[in-house]
Every structure is written in structure tokens, then in C-alpha cells.
Structure 1
Amino acid sequence: MFTVNSKSIALSAAVLLGLTSSALAQSANPAWLDQLSEQLAGEQECAVEYYVNVREAQLAGRLTFEARAQCADGRQFDGSLIEPAEKFTISECGVQVC
């Protein structure tokens, strides 16, 4: 017989809520991600599969944009832009040793 307790229901609800809010945050696909994808394709020959750590913020009153791109070939790049700059600063993510 299957029994459900309140802790497992609460945990399931929290996981579902976290997955839903994460999916909604990335489904918005801001226009600046399209710009970053085009820049990565042109400069790094990267076909972006998806983004992680997508952030928009303000720094000293200026808009900032950051994201990590996962390319189809397995490479990853960090892109960042602080307005009024028109191009992203792009750096390749390498293997890190602790």
C-alpha cells in the first residue's frame, strides 16, 4: 500500500515550483541573448544550444547582461555586456583545477 506524508508532499511541491520558475525564467529569451548568439557564431563559430546563469542587473546605474553559453560542440563561453557597450566581452570557459 502507498502512503503519502505531508513532508513528501511539501518536498514535491517545492521541487515542482523550483523547476517551473527556472523554466519560465529561461523561456523569456531576452533579445540580448539573440545578439550574444550571433556574436558567438561569428567570432567563435559556436552554435549555442542553451544558456545557463542568465542575469540582468544594474551596476552603478548601468544595465549589465551576463550569460554562459553551451555550444553544440561542447565548448562553453561566458558573455557579458555593460551598457553603453554594443558588443559582448566573450571568454572561453576552460578546465579549472582546485
Structure 2
Amino acid sequence: MQQALLLLSGVVLAIVHPPQAAADWPEELAAEILMVEDCVVAFLSNVEEREIDGRQTVMAKVHCEDQRVFDAWREDPLLAFQFNDCTEAVETC
């Protein structure tokens, strides 16, 4: 991770971390669905990222290596992902 040091007269004032990249959420999603649903992610589809009321909302369809499919979403980067099993859904999931 890239970091920047702010120096003034040889004194370190702060360590500035760049904002966490929005691209980090797929790794977080993969780790969470592995723990919660025992799903190893094969690929994601129908990915939507939106900012709603200043919060980054993420929605995606998760395709597991064992052929199961889940809808996944989270309404804030500080919240855990929610999962809906679509494997045998009668309606479009």
C-alpha cells in the first residue's frame, strides 16, 4: 500500500494513507461468503456499485465453484455482506 509522509522542518507530522480502494470489496465479499456459506467464488456477475446518501452500496451475483449462486449486497462498507441463495429459486433472483 502506498503511503505518504508529511515532513516539516524534519518533523513527521502525519502518515497519510490513500483512501481504501473501492476495488477491495470483491476480496471482502469472497472471504465473507466462504465463511458464511462455504462458497469458493468462481466469478461475479451483475455487479453494481452505487453511492447512496454518501455510502458505497455494492450488489453482485456470486457464482460458486460448486455451481451454487447467491445474490450478495451491502449498503455500507462498514457492514457485512448479506446473501440470498438463488440456486433453486423459482423466481428470478
Shorter-chain TM-score above 0.5: yes
TM-score (norm 1): 0.63
Q: CA deviation at 1:84?
A: 5.1
State the alpha-carbon separation in 1 of the partners of residues 66 and 48 from structure 2: 24
| Runs of 4+, deviation exceeding 6 Å | none
What's 1:25 paired with?
A: none
What amino acid does structure 2 have at the position aligned with 1:96? V
Residue identity over aligned pairs, in percent, reads 27
For 1:50-69, list aligned pairs within 5 A.
50-69=43-62
Q: 2:57 touches 2:77 (CA, 8 Å); kept in 1?
A: no
Question: Which runs of no fewer than 5 residues in structure 1 stay unpaired?
Answer: 1-28
User: Which of the residues 85, 89, 92 maps onto 1:95?
Assistant: 89
Aligned residues: 70
Q: CA deviation at 1:41?
A: 0.6
TM-score (norm 2): 0.66
More helix by share: 1
State the alpha-carbon separation in 2 of the partners of residues 75 and 67 from structure 1: 14
TM-align CA RMSD:
2.0
For 1:13-52, list aligned pairs within 5 A.
30-52=23-45
Q: 2:59 touches 2:74 (CA, 8 Å); kept in 1?
A: yes
More strand by share: 2
Question: Which runs of no fewer than 5 residues in structure 2 stay unpaired?
Answer: 1-21
User: Which of the residues 50, 72, 76 maps onto 1:79?
Assistant: 72
State the alpha-carbon separation in 1 of the partners of residues 91 and 77 from structure 2: 35
